[in-house]
Amino acid sequence: MPANTILDRRTMIAMTAAALGGTVSGCSQQAKSSTAINTTHRRRFENKVVLITGATSGIGRAAAIAFAAEGAKVAFCGRRENLGREVEAEIKSQHGEACYIRADVRDESSVKTFVDHAVQHYGRLDVAFNNAGITLEKPLHEYTSAEWNNVLNTNLRGVFLAMKYEIPYMLGTGGGNIVVTSSSNAIATTEGRSAYTASKRGLVGLVQSAALDYVDKGIRINTLIPGTTDTALVRRVAHMENAPDVVWEAAQHQWAKAHVPMKRMATPQEIAAFALALASDDFPYMTGAQMVIDGGKTARAG
């Protein structure tokens, strides 16, 4: 359940009030009409094995479905078993191949077991999308050490652990492709996000160095830097998880109009489509890169 640029509660409350003064249904309709994804019949991942962390919701879920639609055998993890089983069933209902394995990226033995079981199940590993992430927003001095560690252990250490156990399998078969989800907060951030920002900026450095470690071993590693995406995590951090959908649609539309040049949030499917592009063989000369997809948000951050 990856995090992107997160909305602060006060801003969302103000935006909700403004939005509800307008035509809510019209706002919702506009958002839907402007976020359609061009579907293709490409099979870039035919018979390839793809591992995804944090795929029970949001961008990870969208990516799991998209990889399977392009022929991948998808092994994915997350802590919420009920949601994991739902994603697995949805992929299989569309004649895709998927296997949910419960794992917690904060726990080294859990990560190792996830990777080992996935490879044992499908026989190899070609692509990894290391995507799991969380956030917690408050002024720096208010974090407990446990809270700080939880964010860093999930977002940064969790990616290290995943790569630690994925890479040996890729080395054994002559190469692979790894994509890591960071955030536009790695480029430009705001108050209350010190732990989240530290973890996401750390991922950029981790990827740059790791990409050089394996550049002559056939393994490419790149960072995906998404902007604010309409996911359950963003909605929860905005304290609007229990708000009616129509209220959330109006509020996030108003927020995006004020903060994003494209005047809308990304959809999980849009970010997933970019993750698939980075994970494909379409860009064989790309490694160690930080690829931004944020509706123009960080272009004007300065």
Please provide the DSSP assignment of 61-104 as one string.
Answer: HHHHHHHHHTT-EEEEEES-HHHHHHHHHHHHHTT-EEEEEE--
Tokens for 70?
């392009």
- Calculate the CA 294 to chain-centre distance: 13
d(CA 274, CA 37): 11
Instruction: Check: CB of residue 99 under 8 Å from CB of residue 118.
Output: yes
Alpha-carbon distances, residue 162 vs 5, 28, 237 (angstroms): 23, 38, 26
Beta partners for residue 74, in sequence order = 50, 98
Q: How far apart are CA 135 and CA 147, in angstroms?
A: 10
Q: Is there a contact between 49 and 72 (Cβ–Cβ < 8 Å)?
A: yes
Torsion of CA 139, 141, 144, 148, to 10 degrees: 60
> Pick from 120, 135, 69: which is nearest to 96 by CA?
69
Which among 196, 171, 174 is positioned nearest to 186, based on CA atoms? 196
Q: Helices 245-259 and 24-33 sit at what angle, rounded to 10 degrees? A: 70
- Please identify every residue annotated as catalytic: 196
